[in-house]
A and B are shown apart, each in its own frame.
Chain A
Amino acid sequence: MIIAVSIASFTISSCHSKTANEKLVYWSSNNTEEIQFGKEVIQEWNKNHPDNEIVFQPVPEGQSSEEVILAAVVGKTTPSIYGNMWQGDVEQYARAGKLIALDTLPGFNEFIYSRCDSSVVKEVTSIDGHIYQLPWKINPIMMIYNVDIFHEIGYDKPPRTYSEFLRAAEKIKKVDKNGYSVRWIGYVEVLVTWWQRFFDFYPFYLAASNGGHLIEKGNVAFNNKYAIETFAFLKTLFDNKYLPRERLSARQDAFLSSAIATRFTGPWEISHADKFKPEGFHYDFAPLPVPDDFIGEPYTYGDTKNIVIFNTCPNVTTAWNFLKTMLSEKNDYKFLRITSQLPRRKDLISNALFLKYFEEHPKMLPFAKQSKYVKGPDISEILKEVFDMISQQFEACVVYGKITPEQAVNEAAKATQLLLLK
């Protein structure tokens, strides 16, 4: 009913036709930093292009930006450009013909290949072979760890492999005189909500499998030893009570109060930790633990947010020219500086301009190094359902130990394959 009413109101407000003279509208994410960035960039653009001015607007308030975009799509009131599209959502909009194929625009291929590795270009290429999204920003999921707790148990470096992590977990586990656990190595949200797996199963699976797929060419790709290893590792952590089953989200920050020694999180944690950490608290970031026989640099989930141009855009050429400006080296640097989010570009740790920033903000450096090894979600229309299937099995296997990792992966894969065949 909520959707129906929103659609009605959006439809009513959209009862006017778009013309080529109409100004382009850019919607950004509605966090303060991105609003500041968007305003500054558009102000400069409008100053230099008085004939092609762009209107800036943060995405309107709603329960989620996703729902606002959905309602706008139905009401045909989408912005010309949207700068906060989750990579996993793009395929649905592309299939429905709501997005402009960016690879048909002049100079797009040169631009994207100069900015991103070919693996990234492949990652954002749609099933129909076109590219509908411009990779923009990432927030890689890494392990934040309490340096002091690891020193206390004799670790100079954070654990790198599953075995090291499990050994550390045993040493970190603490029980009070009444038999209550008061300290754990980490925390994983036990809720089955599909996107919670972005912070446990999925990044660990990507790390173990060298950036493997969940869905590839329309088929299930996660029924493999890496998924089983990931399930088994996380299950061991719960079985041995190294992770609490109790939800800790409604109490004082468990990491900053040293109730947990690690957390799997993104760079947004830095400003939070610096603001609320107690005196003498030391933390750092490290890549996620990997299987013992793993060689190389582990991948992780990048929480990729990209830019799209909607088919309601009155002047695609101007939109494209604007995007080239907004994603210039200078503006990427400005974006990094204002928002502390990483632009998804291949020269992030080789370009002197960005290196200067990381020297000034050393806590961001591990994320910048990790940025070479991040993956966004696979291209699929049913991605949320896939994560839901995995999440259901995750709960049954990892959290409550009702089934084995092999059964969990098989069940999730079977259910996903059925969905893909529909």
Chain B
Amino acid sequence: MKKTKLTPYLMILPYVIFFITFISFPVIFSFILMFHKWNIIAPMQFIGLSNFYHLFHDSLFFKSLLNTLIFLIVHIPLQIIIALFFAVMLNQKIRFIGFFRAAYFLPVIVSGVVVTILWQQLYGFESGMLNRFLSAFGIAKVGWLEDSNLAMMSIAIMATWKNVGLYIILFLAGLQTVPNYLYEAADLEGATSWQKFRYITLPMINPTVFMVVILSTIGGFSLFIEPYVMTGGGPLNSTLSAVLYIYKQGFFFYHMGYASTLGFFFAGIILVVIVIQKKFVERDA
């Protein structure tokens, strides 16, 4: 009897150990750090709510939030439209379908650092292929990464290129669950392709749309590698994402308490955004 009760606990023990070590301990420790000043070397010093006071007076943090928002505004719609378009295309009976599905997915599995370095070459002001291509048509050089008004959008385009394959696969899975008889019935009623897409496909794949919106929102909020490798947050802090800023506070300057405060505050913002998205995007199919 006793042995039977113990077995389930033993079965979940590896995950419990993982959870305690890598999730609950760091989260609890970070929570404690929010009320302390700690540079790792010297002992922790209790400072009450000073980190929060600093946060609400830190204009650079709010700039990094705004930058992240700009990234999300460009990245999420672009990602959904492109992914849905290619998913619908790849859901047709076309030749080499396996090849195309694999090709679109390829950037997802390539390291973010590698993709970033490649795109850095494409975006180069003087030697980049994009500008060379544009100038062949007499179009002036574009400061993809040098112009502070454009740099975040350039990063959003690159991130879309890298991640879109994953969302294509998700949409494809969603599209394949739509029963064929609905389209047949619509055909009998004389519905156009657009009407079928608008009134059958979209409502039927709503759970997938919701999942893609949530995943790309969370992915977008975690924007880090691209600006870290490509621009370091510049020009003029225009690509400084919130996570990059938190990383700099924590690992450049060892303001561990402040970085924890920023991290929790930022997690709260993500939570609020996800709740709002859930309210507006998720509908019963």
A residues apposed to B, CB below 8 Å: 1, 3-5, 7-8, 67, 70, 73-74, 92-93, 95-96, 98, 178-182, 190-194, 244-247, 250-251, 384-385, 388, 392, 395-396, 399-400, 402
If A191-B232, A194-B252 touch, whether A3 touches B40 (CB-CB below 8 Å) is yes
Please, how many angstroms separate the alpha-carbon atoms of A392 and B30 in the complex?
A: 28
B30, B233, B234, B253: which contacts A4 (Cβ < 8 A)? B30
Q: Could you give 10 example pairs across A and B, Cβ below 8 Å?
A: A1-B27, A5-B21, A179-B135, A190-B235, A246-B125, A247-B120, A250-B121, A251-B124, A251-B127, A392-B237
Q: Are A180 and B252 in contact (CB under 8 A)?
A: no
Q: Which residues of A are found within 8 Å of B40, using beta-carbon distances?
A: 3, 7, 70, 73-74
If A73-B41, A92-B39, A246-B127 touch, whether A67 touches B251 (CB-CB below 8 Å) is yes
Q: Are A244 and B121 in contact (CB under 8 A)?
A: no
Please, how many angstroms separate the alpha-carbon atoms of A193 and B233 in the complex?
A: 9
B residues apposed to A, CB below 8 Å: 21-22, 25-27, 29-30, 39-43, 117, 120-121, 124-128, 132, 135, 141, 143, 145-146, 148, 231-237, 250-254, 256
Task: Tell me what chain B mostly uses at the interface: helix, strand, loop, or mixed.
Answer: loop
Q: Which residue of B lies closest to A176 (CB)?
A: B126
B125, B232, B256: which contacts A245 (Cβ < 8 A)? B125
Q: Which residues of A are found within 8 Å of B234, using beta-carbon distances?
A: 190-192, 395
Q: Which residues of B are found within 8 Å of A385, using beta-carbon distances?
A: 253
> A-B contact count, CB below 8 Å?
95
Q: Which residues of A are found within 8 Å of B121, using beta-carbon distances?
A: 250-251
Q: Which residues of B are found within 8 Å of A395, using beta-carbon distances?
A: 234-236
CB distance from B250 to the nearest CB of A (A): 7
Q: Which residues of B are found within 8 Å of A191, using beta-carbon distances?
A: 231-232, 234
Q: Which residue of B lies closest to A381 (CB)?
A: B39
If A3-B256, A74-B40, A250-B121 touch, whether A180 touches B127 (CB-CB below 8 Å) is yes
Q: Are B120 and A1 in contact (CB under 8 A)?
A: no
Please, how many angstroms separate the alpha-carbon atoms of A1 and B250 in the complex?
A: 10
Q: Are A396 and B42 in contact (CB under 8 A)?
A: no
B42, B143, B253: which contacts A95 (Cβ < 8 A)? B42
Please, how many angstroms separate the alpha-carbon atoms of A50 and B269 in the complex?
A: 61
Q: Told that A4-B25, A5-B22 touch, could you supply 18 new A-B pairs with CB distance under 8 A?
A: A1-B22, A1-B27, A4-B29, A4-B30, A5-B25, A92-B39, A93-B41, A96-B41, A182-B126, A191-B234, A192-B233, A245-B143, A246-B126, A246-B128, A384-B252, A392-B237, A395-B235, A400-B235
